[in-house]
Amino acid sequence: MAQITVTINGKSFRMACDDGEEDRLQGLAGRFDGWIHELKGAFGEIGDQRLTVMAGIMATDQLSELERRVARLEEQLADAEQQQVAALDDMSHNEKELSRAVHTAAARIESLADSLTKSLKPSEAS
């Protein structure tokens, strides 16, 4: 397990993470620190704990909005999949109908060809 040091609001924190996740954790900490600095710029020195809580709420708000978007996209995807299945079912039905029509036409053509062949043969009575 890897150990890294992240800096948030000017304070260093040692953290453990899975091997290979160091850069990701550094990036997340940097993003969170950015929110802390953004809040400090907007509200001034209002206390570390309050800044941390506000930044946590900002992060949770963004996460909540993204979850809502994902849920909407999943619903749209499910609707599109249902429409695709229905279209395939319709196409399958149409293909069956087309196949029946082709078979019927082929049978009629064979019947006409047989009739034509018989009518062109010289009669045996002559």
Domain positions in the chain: 2-119
| Mean pLDDT (the chain, rounded) | 89
> Which residues make beta-bridge pairs with 8?
11
pLDDT in the model for residue 99: 82
Higher pLDDT, 125 or 47: 47
Instruction: Give the model's confidence band at 123: pLDDT under 50 very low, under 70 low, under 90 confident, else very high.
Output: low
Mean pLDDT along residues 93-119:
85
In the predicted model, is pLDDT for residue 125 greater than 70? no
Tokens matching residue 99 = 């196949």
User: For residues 19 and 92, what is the distance between their CA atoms, to the nearest angstrom?
Assistant: 51
User: For residues 66 and 21, what is the distance between their CA atoms, to the nearest angstrom?
Assistant: 23
pLDDT tens for 37-85 read 999 999 988 899 999 999 999 999 999 999 999 999 999 999 999 998 8
Tokens matching residue 113 = 């060809």
* Cα dihedral 103→105→110→113 (10° resolution): -170
In the predicted model, is pLDDT for residue 26 greater than 80? yes
Q: What b/e sequence results for 87-121 when a residue is b if at least 16 CB atoms lie within 10 Å of its CB, and e otherwise?
A: eeeeeeeeeeeeeeeeeeeeeeeeeeeeeeeeeee
pTM above 0.75, yes or no: no
Higher pLDDT, 24 or 100: 24
* Proportion of the chain above pLDDT 90, given as a percent: 64
